[in-house]
Amino acid sequence: MTRAGAPWEFLRWFGGVLIYCRTMALFLLVWHLAAEAVPNKLLLPSPLAVAQALRESWLDGELTANAGISLLRLLVSVAAAALLAIPLGLAMGRSKTVGDLLEWPVELLRPIAGIAWIPLALFIFGIGQRLPIFIMFYTAFFPLLLGTAAGAQSVDRRLIAAARTMGLSRGTIMRQVVVPAALPSVLVSLRLAVAASWTAVVAAELVGAPSGLGYAIEYYRSMLATPTVMAFIAAIGMLGFLTDRALRWLGDLLAPWARAEGRR
Amino acid sequence: MNRLALKLLLPILLLLAWELLASGSARAPRPSTVVQAAAAMTASGDLPTGLATSLLRVFLGFATASVLAVPLGIVMGSVAVVERNLDPLVESFRPIAAIALLPLIILWLGTGTQAAVAIVAYAAFFPILINTIAGVKRIEPNLMRAAYTMGVGALTRMRVVLLPAALPAILIGMRIGLGVAWTAIIAAELAVGAKAGGQGGIGQMMFVFYAYSVELNGIVVCMVAVGIVALLLDRSLRFALARAVPWSAP
Amino acid sequence: MTDARMTDATMTDAKIRLSGIGKSFGAPAAPVVAVQDLSLDIRPGEFLTIVGPSGCGKTTVLNMLAGLETPTTGTMTLDGRPIRGPGAERGVMFQDYALFPWKTVRGNIGFGLVHGPAGAGLSAAEREERVRRVIELVGLTGSEEKYPHQLSGGMRQRVALARLMANEPQILLMDEPLAALDAQTRIILQDELLRIWGQDKPAAQRRTVVYITHSIDEAVFLADRVVVLSSHPGRLKRIVEIDLPRPRDDATRLSKGFADLCQSIWQSIREEAYRATMT
| Tens digits of residue pLDDT in C179-192 | 888 888 889 889 98
Contact (CB<8Å) B149/C67? yes
Q: Is the pLDDT of residue B13 over 80?
A: yes
Residues of B in contact with A213 (CB under 8 A): 100
> Higher model confidence: residue C37 or residue C278?
C37
Please report, as a single letter, which amino acid is at residue B99.
Answer: I
Whether residue B250 lies within 8 A of chain C, CB to CB, comes out as no
Confidence bin at A24 (pLDDT 50/70/90): very high
Of A116-120, C26-30, C51-55, the one with minimum mean pLDDT is C26-30
CA C266 remoteness from chain centre: 20
Query: What pLDDT is attached to residue B194?
Result: 58
Q: By C-alpha distance, which of C76, C58, C120 is closest to B150? A: C120
Q: By C-alpha distance, which of A93, A75, A214 is closest to A152? A: A93
Q: B residues 79-108 near A, CB within 8 Å? A: 84-89, 91-93, 95-104, 106-108
Residue boundaries of the structural domains of chain A:
47-258
Instruction: Give yes or no for a cis peptide into C233 (omega within 30° of 0).
Output: yes
Q: Is the pLDDT of residue C258 over 90?
A: yes
Q: Is residue C257 part of a domain?
A: yes
Confidence bin at A92 (pLDDT 50/70/90): very high
Q: Is residue C247 part of a domain?
A: yes
Contact (CB<8Å) C149/B249? yes
Residue of B nearest to C87 (CA): B151
Residues C208 and C45 sit within 8 Å (Cβ to Cβ): yes
Contact (CB<8Å) A233/B104? yes
Q: B residues 143-182 near A, CB within 8 Å? A: 182
Q: By C-alpha distance, which of C52, C59, C119, C43 is closest to C92? A: C59
Interface test with B, best of C100, C113, C159 (most B CBs within 10 A): C100
Q: Which residues contact B8 (CB under 8 A, 6 or more apart)?
A: A104
Q: What is the DSSP string of A6-49?
A: HHHHHHHHHHHHHHHHHHHHHHHHHHHHHHHH-S-TTTS--HHH
Q: Which residues contact B171 (CB under 8 A, 6 or more apart)?
A: B237, B240, B241, B244, B245
Among candidates C90, C91, C100 on the partner chain, residue whose Cβ is nearest the Cβ of B143? C100
Whether residue A126 lies within 8 A of chain B, CB to CB, comes out as no
Among candidates C25, C29, C32 on the partner chain, residue whose Cβ is nearest the Cβ of A8? C29
How many domains does chain C fold into?
Answer: 1
Contact (CB<8Å) C149/B245? no
Q: By C-alpha distance, which of B171, B180, B198, B166 is closest to B124? A: B180
Q: Is the pLDDT of residue B64 over 80?
A: yes
Whether residue A165 lies within 8 A of chain C, CB to CB, comes out as no
Residue of A nearest to C55 (CA): A1
Q: Tell me: the pLDDT tens digits for C188-225?
A: 889 988 988 888 888 888 999 999 998 999 999 999 99
Kindly report the average pLDDT of chain C as a whole number.
87
Q: Is residue C40 part of a domain?
A: yes
Query: What pLDDT is attached to residue C275?
Result: 74
Confidence bin at B201 (pLDDT 50/70/90): confident
Interface test with A, best of B99, B105, B133, B172 (most A CBs within 10 A): B99
Q: What kind of fold does domain A47-258 have according to CATH?
A: MetI-like fold (1.10.3720)
Domains and their CATH numbers in chain B:
33-244 (1.10.3720.10)
Whether residue C25 lies within 8 A of chain A, CB to CB, comes out as yes
Residue of A nearest to B123 (CA): A199
Contact (CB<8Å) C26/A4? yes
Beta bridge partners of residue C21, listed in sequence order: C38
Among candidates B146, B156, B247 on the partner chain, residue whose Cβ is nearest the Cβ of C102? B247
CA distance C89 to chain B (A): 8
> Higher model confidence: residue C55 or residue C31?
C31
Q: CA-to-CA distance for C77 and B216, rounded, in angstroms?
A: 82
Whether residue C54 lies within 8 A of chain A, CB to CB, comes out as no
Residues of C in contact with B148 (CB under 8 A): 68, 86
Q: Is residue C81 part of a domain?
A: yes
Could you count the other beta carbons within 10 Å of the beta carbon of residue B174? 24
SS (H, E, C) C61-103: HHHHHHCCCCCCEEEEEECCEECCCCCCCEEEECCCCCCCCCC
Q: B residues 180-209 near A, CB within 8 Å? A: 182-183, 186-187, 190-191, 194-195, 203, 206-207, 209
CA distance B200 to chain C (A): 43
Please give the residue range of the domain that contains residue C14.
3-86+207-278
Query: What pLDDT is attached to residue A218?
Result: 87
Among candidates B88, B92, B107 on the partner chain, residue whose Cβ is nearest the Cβ of A221? B107
Phi, psi of C42 (to 5 degrees): -110, 125
What is the CATH number for C16? 3.40.50.300
Q: Which residues contact C63 (CB under 8 A, 6 or more apart)?
A: C69
Q: Tell me: the pLDDT tens digits for C80-119?
A: 899 988 988 999 999 889 999 999 999 999 999 999 888 8
Which CA distances in Å does A250 have to A183, A185, A238, B91, C253?
12, 14, 18, 20, 60
B vs C: CB pairs below 8 A: 67
Kindly report the average pLDDT of chain B as a whole number.
89
Q: Is residue C175 part of a domain?
A: no
Confidence bin at C11 (pLDDT 50/70/90): very low
Contact (CB<8Å) B149/C102? no
Contact (CB<8Å) B206/A119? yes
Q: By C-alpha distance, which of C120, C113, C115, C116 is closest to C135? A: C113
| SS3 (DSSP) at C15 | coil
Residues of A in contact with C32 (CB under 8 A): 1-3
Which CA distances in Å does A38 have to A28, A51, A83?
15, 18, 50
Whether residue B160 lies within 8 A of chain C, CB to CB, comes out as yes
> Higher model confidence: residue C242 or residue B211?
C242
Residues of B in contact with C111 (CB under 8 A): 147, 150, 160
Contact (CB<8Å) A123/B216? yes
Could you count the other beta carbons within 10 Å of the beta carbon of residue C173? 25
CA distance A12 to chain C (A): 11
Contact (CB<8Å) A3/C29? no
Q: By C-alpha distance, which of A106, A100, A196 is closest to B227? A: A106
Q: Is the pLDDT of residue B148 over 80?
A: yes
- Region of residue A133 (phi > 0: left; psi between -120 and 50: alpha; otherwise: beta): alpha
Sign, Cα dihedral of A72, A75, A78, A79: negative
Among candidates A19, A43, A97 on the partner chain, residue whose Cβ is nearest the Cβ of B107? A43
Whether residue A10 lies within 8 A of chain C, CB to CB, comes out as no
Query: What pLDDT is attached to residue A51?
Result: 94
Q: What is the dihedral of CA B166, B167, B171, B174, to 10 degrees?
A: 60
Residues B74 and B134 sit within 8 Å (Cβ to Cβ): no
Q: Is residue C140 part of a domain?
A: no
